[in-house]
Structure 1
Amino acid sequence: MVKLTARHVENVAPERKERILWDDDLSGFGLRSYPSGRKVYIVQYKLHGRTRRKTLGKHGVVTADEARRGAKLVQADVARGADPSAERKARLRSPTIKALGERFLKEHVALHCKPTTLYDYRNLLRGVVNPVLGGIKVSEITFADIQTFHLKRRDTPYQANRGVMVLSKMLNLAEDWGLRAMNTNPTRRLKRYPEVEKKRYLDDSEQERLGSVLANMLASGEITRYVFAAFYLLLLTGCRLGEIQKLKWDYVTRTHLELPDSKTGRRRIPLPREGRALIDTLERREGNPYVILGGHGTGHYNDLQKPWRKIRARAGLEDVRLHDLRHTYASVAVMNGIDPFTLKEILGHKNLSTTLRYVHLSDDAVQKAAGQIANRLAATLGSVA
């Protein structure tokens, strides 16, 4: 054993076998010498009864004095309970955000979420998250990385917020899976962008225009009877798009749509007489279980968004999304005296707060209600003139 100085290390000659020279001044500090002539500084320490070694750097890149200082720092970390060697190996084995996303989809989302959620998350990761963060190691991603990603997507706040939401779920699971230290999720303190809630429903005149356009396009052959029925059923039942698009004959009774599975689980949806009469006009296709049929095959009509874009343009409703038909159903229900608790059951919401977000009363209805309140108070207070 000798003191590993720069001069001594320079004079160490390679031998036929790899060997370690230990420093006689700093216990655990050593030089590994290879037959090739390569020399590497190391530090050896013991933790929990196990001996470990950590590489400090190659001689020539790191000086003997720098390596000695590095060895002391490692020993100080070990004295505080850290394991520098294991931490380095963990960083090297750490998957990237892209790899974590694939595992997240396969081992969590596919098992615990709806297929539509899996589809949405996969697209969000591939198109939004991975191009910015996909190559970063899970163990090394920081708040600054998340903040940079969020800022780059500021022009699309909804996507930016959803990207952070999915990252938060992924990194929580990374902690559970031992890929990050517990309680280190860097998304927690990020402030999300405000999102302007889209409040859109069809008033009476717009409903009339839509009905007229649907009838004219059906008569001219621009849309099929199945497409016509799909949009009418969305309005008459308040269903989600997928619930009508993928509706099967086995789910249809005289008075209800009995869905074995939906976004919120099993649903029993009231089917009004008008809806049942409309369904009765649709022809079945042998071997095809679906109500809303496409041009051929055994599946359902695949893309109702395409005819909807043409229909809404013809009706002068370019800003109306298909989901706004569900909003319209909820608004009409409330304006006709249906209480939110009953509406919650009809729409299949888990929480009343979700139902209340769907309820958009018209200006006339609000004005009328405000007038009734003011009249009652004025009658009690007396004349103000």
Structure 2
Amino acid sequence: MVTLGRAGVAAGALGAPAARAAARRLLIRATLADLPSAPEQKKVPLFVDFAEEFWTDYSPHWKPSTRTSSRSRIDQLLIPHFGELPVDMIARSDINRWRDTMTKREGSFNRTIPIMSVMMQYAEKLGYRAKCSNPCRGVSRFKRELPERYLSADEYRRLGRALANHEFANPFVIPALLLLVYTGARASEIATLRWRYVQIPRLALPDSKTGPKTIYLNPQAIEILSGLDRRADDQLVFPALHREGPINLGEHWIRIRRKAALPDVRLHDLRHSFASAAIAKGIPLATIGKLLGHALPETTARYAHLADDIISESADRICSSLAGALGIAA
């Protein structure tokens, strides 16, 4: 009988994931004991050590915001669970067990497993794992019902009155919120907008969530920007009032939505509502995807049910008209 280590919480005790990995390694060695020796392989690090090697090599390719969030998830979610496992001993069963511990943090799991997958792919490239052995492959993410809220015509009117009758100390708040309404842009894209990106009749963003992006400006959006004093190219279009940096639109939105009696409407719902209004006007989903800057058609497809509703309603009106012409309608 082989003893792998001590159980319990004492120093040097093996946790369950590390014990399982050690047992797998011993079984592999026993199976291969009588076979001819293979060339010596690169020493495989523990995941906690590999995480630092991965970070040094790979993270410079990410945007600053991605680096910040990814570092936090590696330190808080991945290293505590996989840290003492050799990188080559992390199996799909380990990933599935980790998933089972995250049932109350489904969003965190869904955002972290792509990072783990990239790390395992990089481990293959470094020779720490066998090719095509990514243990994240085939592990399903949690299905989450993402709330989507669309403003009705009456709610748009209430929002318009609230914006027209509310005064902020920062004069840039209302123009920035109106630009969100008229363009369907992300709040971060408007908050961090600089004058050099404003190239009427478009905004040419060098970077966004999906990379470089063009936001096309309608006459209402152009009027908003034309009403502002243009400053130096590197200056923010919508700066904060009492500090350096961009305006905090989320903070101001809380007050506006309360005044408009829209307490459940998030700032991002203005983007959903822009898509909804475009569909109501018969604009194709592919065009809406370009307006919103979606990198993948699948992202825009989330609005397909709105188009189906409009088509169904149109079919009902046509059939009612035809039935009336035939003298069948009640």
TM-score tier after normalising by the smaller chain length: 0.7 to 0.9
Residue correspondence of structure 1 range 17-166 to structure 2 within 5 A:
77=32, 79-83=34-38, 86=40, 90-91=43-44, 94-96=45-47, 98-111=48-61, 113-166=62-115
1:210 is aligned to 2:210 = no
Specify the alignment match of 1:50 in structure 2: none
The C-alpha deviation readout for 1:304-362, integer Å capped at 9, x for no partner, is 22222333344333333222211111110110121222222222223333222245639
After TM superposition, the structure 1 stretch with the greater mean CA deviation from structure 2, 164-173 or 207-216, is 207-216
Q: What code does the residue aligned with 1:256 have?
A: R
Specify the alignment match of 1:315 in structure 2: 260
Q: What code does the residue aligned with 2:306 have?
A: L
The structure-2 alpha-carbon separation of the partners of 1:364 and 1:148, relative to structure 1 and needing over 3 Å to count, comes to closer
In 2, distance between residues paired with 1:337 and 1:356? Answer: 15
In 1, distance between residues paired with 2:287 and 2:302? Answer: 15
Q: Could you tell me which of 182, 193, 206 is aligned with 2:131?
A: 182
Does the CA contact (< 8 Å) of 2:320 and 2:329 recur in 1? no
Shift of 1:136: 3.1
The C-alpha deviation readout for 1:51-87, integer Å capped at 9, x for no partner, is xxxxxxxxxxxxxxxxxxxxxx96972553554x946
Does the CA contact (< 8 Å) of 1:150 and 1:161 recur in 2? no
Shift of 1:295: 1.7
Secondary structure of the corresponding residue to residue 257 of structure 1: strand
Shift of 1:175: 0.9
In 2, distance between residues paired with 1:359 and 1:245? Answer: 29
- Between the aligned residues of both structures, percent identity stands at 34
Specify the alignment match of 2:285 in structure 1: 340
Does the CA contact (< 8 Å) of 1:203 and 1:362 recur in 2? no
The C-alpha deviation readout for 1:362-381, integer Å capped at 9, x for no partner, is 99846623413644786899
The structure-2 alpha-carbon separation of the partners of 1:342 and 1:186, relative to structure 1 and needing over 3 Å to count, comes to closer
Secondary structure of the corresponding residue to residue 203 of structure 2: strand
The structure-2 alpha-carbon separation of the partners of 1:286 and 1:76, relative to structure 1 and needing over 3 Å to count, comes to closer
Shift of 1:90: 2.3
Greater radius of gyration (CA): 1
Does the CA contact (< 8 Å) of 2:294 and 2:300 recur in 1? yes
1:172 is aligned to 2:117 = no
Shift of 1:142: 2.7
Does the CA contact (< 8 Å) of 1:114 and 1:263 recur in 2? no
Does the CA contact (< 8 Å) of 1:331 and 1:359 recur in 2? no
What is the TM-score with the length of structure 2 in the denominator? 0.77
Q: Could you tell me which of 353, 363, 377 is aligned with 2:298?
A: 353
Secondary structure of the corresponding residue to residue 107 of structure 1: helix
Q: Could you tell me which of 249, 261, 267 is aligned with 1:304?
A: 249
In 2, distance between residues paired with 1:152 and 1:74? Answer: 30
Does the CA contact (< 8 Å) of 1:239 and 1:347 recur in 2? yes
Shift of 1:99: 3.9
1:227 is aligned to 2:173 = yes
- Structure 1 unmatched runs, 5+: 1-72
Specify the alignment match of 1:49 in structure 2: none
Looking at secondary structure, tell me which structure has more strand per residue.
Answer: 1
Secondary structure of the corresponding residue to residue 116 of structure 2: helix
Specify the alignment match of 2:274 in structure 1: 329
The C-alpha deviation readout for 1:277-303, integer Å capped at 9, x for no partner, is 2223334566961101112465322x3
In 2, distance between residues paired with 1:134 and 1:309? Answer: 41
What is the TM-score with the length of structure 1 in the denominator? 0.67
Does the CA contact (< 8 Å) of 2:73 and 2:112 recur in 1? yes
Shift of 1:247: 0.9
Does the CA contact (< 8 Å) of 2:194 and 2:233 recur in 1? no
Where relative contact order (Cα < 8 A, 6+ residues apart) is larger, the structure is 2
Secondary structure of the corresponding residue to residue 368 of structure 1: helix
Does the CA contact (< 8 Å) of 2:201 and 2:216 recur in 1? yes
In 1, distance between residues paired with 2:80 and 2:254? Answer: 30
The C-alpha deviation readout for 1:87-111, integer Å capped at 9, x for no partner, is 6x824xx132x44344444422431
In 2, distance between residues paired with 1:209 and 1:158? Answer: 33
How many residues are aligned here? 303
Specify the alignment match of 1:281 in structure 2: 227
Q: What code does the residue aligned with 2:249 have?
A: L
1:242 is aligned to 2:188 = yes
